[in-house]
Each structure stands twice: as structure tokens, then as C-alpha cells.
Amino acid sequence: MKDNDKTRPVGMMDSGLGGISVLREAVRVLPKEDFVYFGDSVNVPYGTRTTEKVQELTFNVVEKLRQEYNIKAMVIACNTATSASIKALRAHYTDMPIIGIEPAVKPAVICNQGGRIIVMGTPMTMRLENYQRLMNMYKDEAEIVPLTCWGLAEFVEDGIRDHEGLRKFFDENLKPVLTDDTESIVLGCTHYPFLKKELKNYFGDRNILLIDGSKGTSSQLRRRLDEEGLLRDDDHKGEVTFLNSSDDPKMIELSWQLLNMDLD
Ligand code: DGL
């Protein structure tokens, strides 16, 4: 039976702490809602695993949040888990809205003035059907260059301390595709918005637009809650609960830091 209690929380998950970049926006757009965020930091990265394994891990988290928190909607705040599992999740859980995230190629193409668009994402995101579909849809409208990033999300899980390592990563991976006419970069993994400052430092005085999917995903969450009559309309001040598969208390501490961090 459908539960129409609007006071239930919204569930959100990621392979780790990256999805907090979506949570930041969701909290801003939906200040009355409670959110339960689950970071699967024990199993990060998802992007280099098999599709079946990511599906299994994602289903486990969604089931846990349903059983223990009676969530009214679920946000898969992970491009990788969305690519691997969103269809199966929606087919299985037909009684609640499930919102996913995909690389924000569309907004990048809309803003594009003729320069190159680089799309950064995990190996799984770049390989699977969702991204291939996006690429095909927009391939004639702009020069879109995919950049598969092995190991970049881990810098965020680590608290963004290894500045030298990041610079080396950008030199080895980003520099070869960064042409003079590069106009924007799509941050197609929810960990990457936390690296915006590092990226801007790396670009120096070049003006490259950094685009991510957190706004689109949060507006879609709002829309779906509204459609289902689940949007809170009381005077409640929304709260955030952080959960993590790791029992290291530092992960929860870091989660709060990322929620409140200045990104630009
Ligand atoms: N945050 C995840 C995403 O948006 C990726 C990190 C990982 O590989 O686990 O794709």
C-alpha cells in the first residue's frame, strides 16, 4: 500500500561522499525536507567494478534506507550507480520516485559557443548505455570529448589533501585533451564538484565553465515529490542524517565538512 506521509525523509546515496555535492543543492531547493544520506565509502570506487556488483551494492543501500528509514523517495546521487542500476531500481520499487543523475551534457551543449566540451566521468559511466545515448544525441551539435578518469574520486574520499597528486593527475589526464578552444568541462561524477577549486587553480587565468548535474537532479527531485503529492508543506526545518558503510567516524566528520565547504 502507498504511504502518503509527507514527513518521511528522502534517501540519497553515493559510492562514497561525492553525492554530497547533490545533497548541498537538494537542501537548498527543498529546505523543509529531511534527508538521509548513505555513503558507501567501504566500497568506493564503484566506477571500476562490474555492472552486476554496482547493482547489488546499490540495491542493498536502497533496501536499507527503505527498511530502516521508511524513505519516501530515493536519489541515486552517483552517475555510476545510476548508469548501472536506475532501470532495474525503477522496475523493482514501483511505489516511490527514484531520481538518478547523469553527466550534464545537455546544459553544456546549450551554453556552448563553438568550443570543445570535455566530459569527465568514471570508467563505468563512460562505458555504459546512458552516456553513449547522450553522446549520440549531441554529437552533431558540439565537439564533445570524453575523458575517463581512473582514480580521481578517491582524492575526494581522502579529504582533498593531496594537492600535488591532483596536479599530477591533471597533467597526465586532462592536459592532453585541454585545447585552447576548450570552453566547458562536464563534471560527470558527483565527487568532482569538490575539485572545482583545484581545477580552477590548474587553469590559471583561462575561463573554462565547470558544469555538473546537481541542480538538474535536485529540481527533478522537487518535481517528482510534487507530482506524487509528497512535497512537505509544513513549517518543518529540514535535517540531514549522514550514514556511512565505514565505521571510521572521520567519514561522518568529512561528510559535514563537504556539506558546508565553499566550492568556488
Ligand atoms: N560519485 C560517483 C559518480 O558520480 C563515482 C565514484 C566512484 O567511482 O565510486 O559516478
Instruction: Give the alpha-carbon dihedral of 42, 21, 179, 205, to 10 degrees.
Output: -120
Strands 73-76 and 98-99: what pairing? Answer: parallel
User: Which ligand 1 atom sits nearest the alpha carbon of residue 101?
Assistant: 4
Both ends of the chain: CA-CA distance in Å?
45
Please tell me the predicted confidence (pLDDT) of residue 45: 97
- Whole-number Å distance, alpha carbon 4 to ligand 1 midpoint, is 32
Regarding the beta carbon of 18 and ligand 1, being less than 6 Å apart is answered: yes
Instruction: Sketch out the chain's domains with CATH numbers.
Output: 10-101+214-259 (3.40.50.1860), 105-211 (3.40.50.1860)
Taking only the tens place, the pLDDT of each residue in 25-66 is 999 999 999 999 999 999 999 999 999 999 999 999 999 999
Say if residue 145's pLDDT is above 80: yes
Chain-centre distance of CA 6, in angstroms?
25
- Whole-number Å distance, alpha carbon 102 to ligand 1 midpoint, is 11
Residues 6+ apart with CB under 8 A from 177: 116, 118, 145, 147
- Dist. CA 187–CA 195, nearest whole Å: 10
Regarding the beta carbon of 189 and ligand 1, being less than 6 Å apart is answered: yes
Please tell me the predicted confidence (pLDDT) of residue 1: 56
- Dist. CA 112–CA 45, nearest whole Å: 31
Give the closest residue to 203 by CA, choosing from 172, 182, 234, 219: 182
To test the ligand 1 pocket, which listed residue (44, 58, 61, 131) has its Cβ within 8 A of the most ligand atoms?
Answer: 44
Say if residue 193's pLDDT is above 80: yes
Residue 166 pLDDT grade (very low, low, confident, very high; cuts 50, 70, 90) = very high
pTM summary value: 0.97
Say if residue 13's pLDDT is above 60: yes
Say if residue 207's pLDDT is above 60: yes
Residue 186 pLDDT grade (very low, low, confident, very high; cuts 50, 70, 90) = very high
Q: What's the mean pLDDT in 219-241?
A: 97
Say if residue 2's pLDDT is above 80: no
- Dist. CA 128–CA 96, nearest whole Å: 25
Regarding the beta carbon of 78 and ligand 1, being less than 6 Å apart is answered: yes
Say if residue 141's pLDDT is above 60: yes
- Whole-number Å distance, alpha carbon 103 to ligand 1 midpoint, is 11
Say if residue 95's pLDDT is above 60: yes
Say if residue 174's pLDDT is above 70: yes
- Whole-number Å distance, alpha carbon 180 to ligand 1 midpoint, is 28
Grid cell of 237 as nine digits: 526545518
Which residue has its alpha carbon closest to ligand 1 atom 7? 45
Active-site positions read 78, 189
Are 187 and 216 spatial neighbours (Cβ–Cβ below 8 Å)? no
Radius of gyration of the chain (CA): 18
Mean of the per-residue pLDDT values of the chain? 96
To test the ligand 1 pocket, which listed residue (17, 48, 79, 195) has its Cβ within 8 A of the most ligand atoms?
Answer: 79
Chain-centre distance of CA 175, in angstroms?
24
